[in-house]
Structure 1
Amino acid sequence: MLKLTTKLPNPPKTTAFTLTLPYEKRIITRQRVMLDQGLEAGLFLERGGTLQQGDCLQAETGEQVRIQAALEAVSTVYCEDALLLAQVCYHLGNRHIPLEISAGRVRYLQDHVLDDMVRGLGLSVVLEQASFEPEAGAYAGAHAHNSHPYISFNHGH
């Protein structure tokens, strides 16, 4: 069994192994997994992190494994009205669920109650099979997938 212990800061372009996981498994840092090639492995990673599409892990013995986000049942709301999309994000976020937010779109793991709420706000919900990579959260360090290098925070008091 491979012991995957290190998340590489500069992933190589190719790896011999891949590991496809849904979101709920990409937030667990200690678990037994099966690589896509059929090899058993164990994750022994630093606590508190989330694995993202394209991340690369290294085993104690040097093997490298690229992470792939599995396709999952998600609800996607497409909306070009920024204010209405912000309102939908507010109401969904108020329920403390993970959200993947991008320009003109918000996505969450499928939930018929949430789908009905969004429809009640006047928007359509598209049920899809897609990878799910939600926002890391304000206190999680660097932004998960859309960094904003032009925003600077000065917390000097």
Structure 2
Amino acid sequence: MIELTHKTQTQTFESATLTLPWEKRIKSRQRVILDNKDEAGLFLERGQILRNGDVVSSDDGFHVKIIAAHEQVSTARAQTPRQLNLACYHLGNRHVDLEIRDDFVRYPHDHVLDDMVTGLGLSITVEQAPFEPETGAYGNGHHHHPH
């Protein structure tokens, strides 16, 4: 089994690719199947998040490019910045992972959340797309703090 132990900061030639959804890209230790069907293990420093285009490597120079899988998401578009801000506020209050852009907010599809956001005046498109949510104010890791 290929052991992928670290992110590579420099541009390298990839030996393979690995397509993962968001929920798998936040796990630093797991067994995976590369896109070419080879078995590999991720043994990264805890708390590392894999983004689309990142490259992870083995100690012997095997490089794997990470690809964000298409997954079912809701993409909400607003007519005004205030509408978009309100949607982000209310979704954030529900601790929903959010991908926030200048012209839309995206979150894992949920019809109840879609109804809430539609009620705020935004239009919703349910689609298959890569999901790249914000990591939060505390940096690159996945943190949980008691309230």
Return the TM-score normalized by structure 1.
0.86
The answer to whether the 8 Å contact 1:21/1:69 transfers is yes
CA distance in 1 between counterparts of 2:42 and 2:101 reads: 30
Per the alignment, residue 93 of structure 1 pairs with: 92
Within-5 A mapping of 1:7-156? 7-12=7-12, 14-141=13-140
The answer to whether the 8 Å contact 1:28/1:50 transfers is yes
Task: String of CA shifts for 1:4-57, please: whole Å, max 9, x gaps.
Answer: 001011232x41200000000000001000000110000000111110000000
The runs of at least 4 aligned residues of structure 1 exceeding 2 Å deviation read none
| Count of matched residue positions in the alignment of Structure 1 and Structure 2 | 141
CA RMSD of aligned residues (A): 1.3
Per the alignment, residue 2 of structure 2 pairs with: 2
Return the TM-score normalized by structure 2.
0.92
Return the offset for 1:80. 4.0
Per the alignment, residue 154 of structure 1 pairs with: none
Structure 2, unmatched stretches of 5+, are 142-147
CA distance in 1 between counterparts of 2:53 and 2:89 reads: 29
Percent identity over the alignment?
55
Name the CA shift for 1:36/1:53 in 2 (closer, same or farther; >3 Å). Answer: same
Bigger relative contact order (CA 8 A; separation at least 6)? 2
